[in-house]
A and B are shown apart, each in its own frame.
Chain A
Amino acid sequence: MAQRVLEQMKSLEATRTAGGNGPRAPAGNGGGSGWSREEAAPAATVRVGLWFLLTAVTMLFIAFTVAYAARRTAPDWAPIALPPILWVNTGLLGASSATLEWARRRGRRGDAAGVRGGLTVTTLFGAAFLVGQIAAWRELAAAGVFMATSPHSAFFHLLTAVHGLHLLGGLGALGYALRRTAAPAPAGPVLGGEDLTSAVLGSVAIYWHFLTVLWLYVFFIIWS
């Protein structure tokens, strides 16, 4: 997953060299360098790919949900006591989305240092969330609740693990955005007048907020 996102970001980077042709602009019109393969991935294209990626991830979790709903009706279903630290983790992830938005706003004002600061804090919150999730697993283990203990704990471990893997990818994307935005100012508009910083941040933000919402969803079904 991490690679997928990273790659989309890489393609985005490529647009910088391509001189920012529109997605369907025929090559040769955009000046001398307009015929490289890199023109194939301007920001709008990355955005389209990103939405379809999210569709696929959504399907994955829909399948888990269906299984969860079906499995719950079995007679051996017994809820486990979920560790309270999950509330803290939820707060951390929510905060990370907020700081990411803050970073984007800084970016729109052209405040490069603000962008970097915001991204760094976001990454730290995200990493803290993952650490918190692992702490939750350990807390359960200390209480004698393991993956195979009950169907509820099996789903808890399954869903948090798969969500965590996607989040790991998100951290990679944040790291990439940090690196990208640290580079010198981009050459021209990429996405309908958007500059590179906001284009990169916009794509990363879509993915990151998606993961936040996904966690809220997972937390909700696993708690209720």
Chain B
Amino acid sequence: MAHVAHAEAQAGHELSFWRKYIFSQDHKVIGIQYALTSMFMAVLGGLLAMFIRLQLGWPGQSWPLLGRLFPSGMPDGQMNQAFYLASVTMHGTIMIFFVLTTLLTGGFGNFLIPLMIGARDMAFPFLNMLSYWLYPPAIIILLASFFVSGGAAGGGWTAYPPLSALPGAAPGSGLGQTLWLISLALLILAFLFGSLNYITTILQLRARGLSMMRLPLTIWGLFVTAILSLLAFPVLLAAAIMLLFDRIGGTSFFVPAGLLIGSVPVDHRGGNPLLWQHLFWFLGHPEVYVLILPPMGMISDILANNARKPIFGYRFMVGSIVAIAFLSFLVWGHHMYTSGMAPVLGTAFMTTTLVIAVPSAIKTFNWLATLWRAKIRFTSAMLFALGFLSLFVTGGLTGIVLAQPPVDIYFQDTFFVVAHFHFVMASAAIFASFAGTYYWFPKMFGRMMNERLGKWHFWLTFVGIYATFFPMHYAGFMGMMRRIYSPQIYAHLQGLQPLNVFVSIAAFVLFAAQFIFLYNFFRSLFRGPQAERNPWRATTLEWEAPSPPPHLNWGETLPTVQRWAYDYSPPDMAEDFQPQAAPAAVPTGRSREGRGDGGHAR
């Protein structure tokens, strides 16, 4: 097999269509496959959010047209409870695992890692292909669950037992939940294969001269994320296997004694539902950082490029990525303050949680310092990067509020939490993905995206996000709980209805604005102006390769790296940037040797 691949590689582009675009082992193709599939899932996940907002904005309203499209979920056009809960669950599941994780690591990670470190491909190309090809089956199984009896899982993306363990507990607890677990297990394998590859590739295949402390922060973010995934996802896999055993094998890992379903006693005893929560959040919290560390890295590179300044405090940026990753394993309890944990334990988790704010703040201040007195180039990518900063700070601040048990006991399971993580995680990660797409699209496809549409997209999305999620803080304040079909039946929440209508309309506008992006993306794919090799005048290695890079990325010789990734606006030079691989320039004035080895240059 290797002989065949080798021969083909030598012969250039003689791979069959099938091996070139479908079962490809080329990291760029796999990255684009991951990205496009994630985009498709994002549209689905977004549609589900529209269903959620439809119900919360106009509860009990009949939508005859939709009724005809979804006869079982919306009989007579009225959404039923099971469909609402399935929408909430599947929205969360899809967005977190099937969109953001796959897009950031599978999409950007695959495309960028070999290019940015000057390698020809991943360390294990076959494993990489396998990783992608576990993803579509996982999707099919997940989506099939909408059509089985009882419908898709409805127990939330966190799948707490006993709701998720007992098939009779709720409509979605039937076959739908089993499929959910199987689908997730497949996807976890995909993530693990991917992570193994990313780690090994970054450790082993860096171009000559590219020491770890010369890596662009995008690569640092992806590298630490891969380690995080490798340590955290097996734990979720273990929990998922045990939950499947409980569901199918009749064991009692998580199901306690004495439960009744429809006044019939359940045949399980002695299990511990809190155990699931511990295992889940031991993964779950690192998982949220899986979704934010790659964006942090990407944003750093895009900010530096568009500010035409070196990133401020490179070593601190690397250190804070590592610190955040380490701490993220010690904070899972902050999702369980209301589970009756000992107050001492609560205080301990509060402390670790608040400590995480320190490296997060370091990063934020370093970004601001990078922007300080810069002549900023306001490209679409840059706008989204700046938007990321805003969203991350807004969401981070409410994190500090929630970290305190006495406060959180009130806020737990309200829309305040929904607002928190939609700012700090969901929106921030999406903004970084948009920034990354506008920035790397020319490299991926050899064409430029339309900047004017990009700016429209940015402003509508930015305003739309704040309009959608900011009022949710207030709803949470007033006690509106999340994951509830009809919160309006409570007298104290009825006054919130105008607010909910406003949020729903904002959400629809936000969703609609994304079609500007989709239009821009697909139009530029075919009609965009040809991209140069290095349209943003960037320093990092991927811009040394042609746009788009050929199979195996580089010509006869691999690039050799001379300096760190942030040599923007070096003094005494004609150009306002020095590519990492450019041969050492003859200094015209003072010597520039010292800048070669990392971040303490300034």
Contact = CB atoms under 8 A, between A and B. Distances in A.
A35 B195 CA distance: 25
Contact of B235 (A23, A60, A77): A60
A71 B253 contact: yes
Given A40-B119, A48-B203, A71-B275, A63 B235 contact: yes
Interface string A144-180: 0001100100100110001000000000000000000
Given A27-B120, A27-B558, A40-B122, A10 B238 contact: no
19 contacts: A4-B193, A16-B2, A27-B120, A35-B120, A36-B6, A38-B9, A41-B124, A49-B199, A64-B242, A66-B278, A66-B279, A67-B279, A71-B272, A71-B275, A147-B245, A151-B252, A151-B253, A154-B252, A158-B241
Contacts of B200: 45, 48-49, 52
B379 interface: no
In this complex, the member of A13, A52, A64 whose beta carbon has the largest number of chain B beta carbons within 10 angstroms is: A52
B124 A59 contact: no
A36 B25 CA distance: 13
**How many A residues touch the partner, as a band?**
35 or more
Given A11-B125, A33-B10, A35-B9, 4 more contacts: A3-B130, A40-B120, A60-B235, A67-B253
B123 A45 contact: yes
Contacts of A75: 270
B123 A38 contact: no
Interface in A29-64: 33, 35-41, 44-45, 48-49, 52-53, 55-57, 59-64
A92 interface: no
Nearest to A27: B558
A74 interface: yes
A70 interface: yes
Contact of A148 (B25, B250, B556): B250
B123 A60 contact: no
A28 to B, nearest CB: 4
B234 A11 contact: no
B272 A74 contact: yes
Given A24-B208, A60-B238, A148-B249, A77 B6 contact: no
Contacts of B126: 7, 10-11
Interface in B216-270: 230-235, 237-239, 241-242, 245, 249-253, 257, 269-270
A154 B2 contact: no
B235 A59 contact: yes
Contacts of B122: 40
A26 B558 contact: yes
A151 B270 CA distance: 8
A71 B39 CA distance: 41
B207 A26 contact: yes
Contacts of B245: 147, 154, 158
Contacts of A162: 241
A60 B554 CA distance: 38
Nearest to B245: A158
Interface string B64-106: 0000000000000000000000000000000000000000000
Given A36-B6, A76-B269, A41 B196 contact: no
A82 B231 CA distance: 32
B120 A37 contact: yes
Nearest to B257: A76
Contacts of A18: 6
A17 B130 contact: no
A24 B204 contact: yes
B253 A60 contact: no
A8 interface: yes
Interface in B25-71: 25
A38 B235 contact: no
A10 B1 CA distance: 8
B2 A4 contact: no
Nearest to A1: B189
A103 interface: no
A53 B122 CA distance: 16
Nearest to B3: A17
A56 B204 CA distance: 19
**How many B residues touch the partner, as a band?**
35 or more
Nearest to A67: B275
Contacts of A40: 119-123, 125, 201, 205
A38 B272 contact: no
B238 A64 contact: yes
Given A45-B204, A49-B200, A56 B242 contact: no
B557 interface: yes
B271 interface: yes
Contacts of A33: 6, 10
A59 B272 contact: no
Contacts of B249: 147-148, 154, 157
Given A45-B123, A48-B204, A67-B238, A27 B199 contact: no
A14 interface: yes
A60 B237 contact: yes
B334 interface: no
Contacts of B232: 59
Given A11-B124, A28-B558, A59-B230, A37 B252 contact: no
A27 B558 CA distance: 6
A35 B6 CA distance: 10
A66 B278 CA distance: 10
Given A67-B279, A71-B275, A74-B270, A37 B121 contact: yes
B206 interface: yes
Interface in A56-102: 56-57, 59-64, 66-67, 70-71, 74-77
Contacts of B272: 70-71, 74
A53 B282 CA distance: 19
Contacts of A39: 120
Contacts of B201: 40
A67 B150 CA distance: 30
A148 B1 CA distance: 45
Nearest to B129: A7
In this complex, the member of B195, B206, B238, B275 whose beta carbon has the largest number of chain A beta carbons within 10 angstroms is: B238
Contact of A63 (B1, B6, B234): B234
Nearest to A32: B10
B232 to A, nearest CB: 8
Contacts of B250: 147-148
Contacts of B241: 158, 162
B304 interface: no
Contacts of B556: 27-28, 35
A52 B196 contact: yes
A164 to B, nearest CB: 13
B163 interface: no
A168 to B, nearest CB: 15
